[in-house]
Every structure is written in structure tokens, then in C-alpha cells.
Amino acid sequence: MILENCSIFDGKTIQERSISIDGDVISKIGKGFIKARDEEKINVKERLVLPGFICAHAHAYSAFAFAFPVKGQSKDLKELLKNLWWPLDQTLDREGVYQSAVLTGIRYLRNGVTTILDHHASPNALRGSLSTLAEGFKEVGMRSCLSYEVTDRYGEDKAEEAIKENEEFAKEFGGGIKDEMVSALFGLHASFTLSSESLQKCREIARKLDIGFHLHLAEGSVDVIDARRRFKKPLVQHLRDEGILNEKTLAAHCVNLNKEDIKALGRTNAKVITNPRSNANNGVGIMPLDAIMQEKILVGIGNDGLEYDMFEEIKALQYMQSLKAEKPSALSPEVLNEILFINNSKIASNLFKREVGRISEGAYADLAILDSKPFGEKFNLTNLDSSLIDSVMVNGKWVIKEKKFVFDVARYEEGVRKTAERMRERAPKV
């Protein structure tokens, strides 16, 4: 397939080129490609072509929050978890896990998101849940890297099950070797729901498998306070001493960190994933982005399962950092582009066989075509939105073409409806 007359954004500048796609891979980028017999050739008409977006921290199980009753007003993050998210994930059955991936995948793809790094929980449908999620995402054509959150809050047996789920899934799918649409990380909930004993078990297995951790770090103050109370150490030092923080680790949120914590985190080479809209919604604070970037920590962006639009997520990062700095447009377009495109690509590319989230030769052909032409070589995300998404390609195949899915989305509606009804029936009465 040849896409000609593209305005390609490579994360820094826009160039007018054509893209040649061979199977699931971008084979060439240049000009003057000659179409082979029976090869499809599409004139993009100088419209913007972006790498498919990556959501670097997500929770597909939150897709059914719309059907779940919330128990009262929560005063802080821990209470919100007890009132909504922990009861919700306990209502998921195996079919619910599958439908959450299908529903989530469709919503992300509609907004040009082609890869998700998902952090899962379904304690009453635990074993095999990651494979079920992978099936759901593949059903709608979405690339995924999956992990299951290990926690002690449901007891030792459930923690052991969660460890085993991560281990078996990572053995089969780690690195995207078996299936290039699926990869794995080792999931941990957060320090405040994990003992040293559980962390040590996870560390030993992750080392043997040479796989990284995906966890929540200092999302709320509860995480920081708990580490001081139980372990007599700052949170980052505790997790570093347990062998959890290293160059393969993805640490989501990192809101409640002081300067010493950030310096200590920088020495671990862990990657940080900011989730600005979720942090605002949960009232946990604004991530100290400037201090984190000063320590040369690589920062990516996710959404923590709150909505599905990375255009809006990166705008929210701008708004919140401007509010924190008390000055307009605190982050330059170059910094926003670096976080969303370059850094997210670096994070995801380490998890698969080929580059993900890049328009470069040899990378996976994951693309989003916008119904918009650029003005010059600069690219300002805050001037665009997902309504401009015209076509989306994943792994060299169209999933959306000319604003329409290439498959019948309506055929999934009944499964989603039945799952929502079951979850509502199982929900605690409020």
C-alpha cells in the first residue's frame, strides 16, 4: 500500500512525503514511489498523518463505570477507591473483562489511539483475565501491553493468583514475540496495598523474566504516608530498596513527591506516566512536572482510564501545569509533542519487537490521518482535536476509513448492554 502526498509529523517537524506499507510495517518513506500491480495507492491530499496515539497508563475495566452506582461523596483517593473502583472491579466476570476491552478499544480507536498500556484488575475473574483482555483488544484491532495489579487487599491467596497471572502471561506474550499485537508488563497496585513479602516475590519473578513493573506511585498522599508509617522510609526509597524501581519500571501519577523523592526517583531510571485529568478529577494534586523533567526523567502520558482522548489529555497537562506555574502556556508545543509522541513511543517501543508510535521505516504501520492540512513545519497540539480524525490504521490495516469503522460496531452493543446490566445487579446497594 502507498499513501502519497502525506504531511507527516515525526514528533518534531512536518515533512511532505509518501509512505509505503508492506504488511504490518512501514517499509519506505520518501517521494515518487511507483505503484506495483494490484497495490493500493491512496492520495492523502497533503493532510496531516500522525503516528497512532499511545495511552501509556489505562484501566479498561473502568469502561463500565457508567453503569455502576457510586457510594456517596468521597473525601479522598482512598475513600474513592473503596466507594467506586474496588467494588467495580469485583463485579467483573470473564465476559465482562472481554467486553471492557472491546468497548475500550472502540472508544480509543475512534480518537486515533492505537496502542494501550493497560493495568488490569478483576479479582473474581482473575486467572486468564489478561489473555481475555488481549482477545478483546485484538477483536477490534488494537495493540495492547497488559499487566495485572498485584495487591494484598484481597488476602494472600488472591495475591498469589495475581502474581501467577502476571508470570504466565509474561512468559507467553512478553516482548511481543509470540504475537506482535500483544505484550506484557508486571502489574503492581500501589505500595500502600502491598507488603514487603509480596514485593519480594514479584521482584524475583520479574528479574527471571527480565520484565518491567507497571504501578501507581504517589498518586495520593495515602501512598506516601503509609510508607513512612509501615517501612519508616520515604516511598521512593522503600520501593527502590525492594528492587521495584529500575529502568524498566513505569510509575504512574507521581503527584505527591518532594524534591528529595524526585532526585531519588531519577537515580532509578524509572519512567513516569502523568495522568492529568484523572489527577484533577480525583483531587490528588498536580504532578511536579518541571522538577521531574529537571532530573532528566522520561515522562510519558496516559489517562488512568478516564475518557479516551489523548488530544484532550495533553491539553489538560498544559492547562494544569499553567495553573501550577501561574503563567499562560507554561509548556511549549515542543515539550507537549515530546511527551505525547516521542516519549510515549520510546516507552512502548521497548515493549514490542518493533518501533511503536513512530512514522519511520521499520516501525509498525499504526497511523492516524487528520482531516486537516498543516500551516508550516510546526505542530501545535492545542489547536487540534479528535473530531478531525478521518482514518486510523493499526498494524497495516484500516480500522477506521473516512470516519467510519471498517467493521460493524453495532454487533458489540448487545454484549456491552448485558455486561452493564450484570455489573449493576452485582453492585453493592447504595
Same domain, 262 and 393: no
Nearest to 39 by CA among 61, 18, 17, 20: 20
Quick one: cell of 153? 487487599
| Nine cell digits for residue 183 | 505484550
| pLDDT of 180 strictly over 70 | yes
Taking the CA atoms of residue 162, residue 165, residue 166 and residue 171 in that order, the dihedral angle to the nearest 10 degrees is 160
- Other CB atoms within 10 Å distance of the CB of residue 38: 5
Q: Give the span between the Cα atoms of 295 and 258, in whole angstroms.
A: 13
Residue 372's CB is within 10 A of a number of other CB atoms, namely: 16
Domain region containing 395: 2-51+358-405
Q: Is the Cβ–Cβ distance between 111 and 117 less than 8 Å?
A: no
The cell for 407 is 467493521
Which pLDDT band holds residue 429 (cuts at 50, 70, 90)? Answer: low
Task: Specify whether 270 is located in the same domain as 176.
Answer: yes
Euclidean distance between the first and the last CA atom of the chain, given in angstroms as a whole number: 55
The mean pLDDT of the chain is 94
365 and 287 within one domain: no
Q: Do 6 and 107 reside in the same domain of the chain?
A: no
Orientation angle between helical segments 94-110 and 413-426, nearest 10 degrees: 130
379 pLDDT band, cuts 50/70/90, is: confident
In a domain, 234, yes or no: yes
**Predicted pLDDT at 20:** 97
All three cell numbers of 289:
512536572
How far apart CA 267 and CA 254 sit, in angstroms, is 15
Q: Are residues 159 and 287 in the same domain?
A: yes
Confidence band, pLDDT 50/70/90 cuts, at residue 15: very high
Residue 157 lies in a domain: yes
pTM of the predicted structure, to 2 decimals:
0.95
Residues 288 and 175 reside in one and the same domain: yes
CA distance linking residue 391 with residue 404, whole number of Å: 8
- Domains in the chain, number: 2
Decide if 252 is inside a domain.
Answer: yes
65 and 200 in one domain? yes
Q: Which of 32-46, 49-63, 178-192, 211-225 shows the lowest per-residue confidence on average (mean pLDDT)?
A: 32-46
- Least confident piece of the model among 182-186, 211-215, 239-243, 280-284: 280-284
Q: Which three cell numbers stand for residue 139?
A: 477483536
Look up the CATH number of the domain holding residue 342.
Answer: 3.20.20.140
pLDDT at 270: 98
Q: How big is the chain, counted in residues? A: 430
CB 243 within 8 A of CB 27: no
Q: Is residue 422 part of a domain?
A: no
Q: What pLDDT, in 10s, does the model give residues 24-74?
A: 999 999 998 887 877 899 999 999 999 999 999 999 998 888 777 777 778
Residues 141, 395: contact at Cβ < 8 Å?
yes
In a domain, 423, yes or no: no
* C-alpha to C-alpha distance for 318 and 159, rounded to whole angstroms: 38
Which domain CATH number covers 383? 2.30.40.10
303-312 exposure pattern, b = at least 16 Cβ within 10 A, e = fewer? bbbbbbbbbb
156, 63: one domain: yes
Beta-bridged to residue 250, according to DSSP, are 214, 271
Strands 113-120 and 389-394: unpaired
Instruction: Based on the fold, state whether residues 43 and 139 are members of the same structural domain.
Output: no
| Residue 414 placed within a domain | no
Evaluate whether residue 137 is within a structural domain.
Answer: yes
Q: Can you give the pLDDT at residue 430? A: 45
In a domain, 416, yes or no: no
Residues 114 and 199 in one domain: yes
Average pLDDT of span 313-325? 96
Task: Give one word for 307, left, alpha or beta, with left for phi > 0 and alpha for psi -120 to 50.
Answer: left
Neighbours of 28 (CB within 10 A): 14
Beta strands 213-217; 186-190: pairing state: parallel
For 150-212, give the DSSP string: B-STT-HHHHHHHHHHHHHHHHHHGGGSS-TTEEE-EEEEEGGG--HHHHHHHHHHHHHHT--
DSSP of 231-288: HSS-HHHHHHHTT--STT-EEEE--S--HHHHHHHHHHT-EEEE-HHHHHHHT-----
Collapsed DSSP state (helix, strand, coil) of residue 410: helix
Q: Are residues 44 and 146 in the same domain?
A: no
Tell me which of 304, 319, 349 is where a domain ends. 349
Q: Are 103 and 41 part of one and the same domain?
A: no
Cβ contacts of residue 24 below 8 Å, gap of 6+? Answer: 180, 364, 365, 395, 396, 397
Over the stretch 397-427, which tens digit does the pLDDT of each residue have? Answer: 999 999 999 999 999 999 989 988 888 887 7
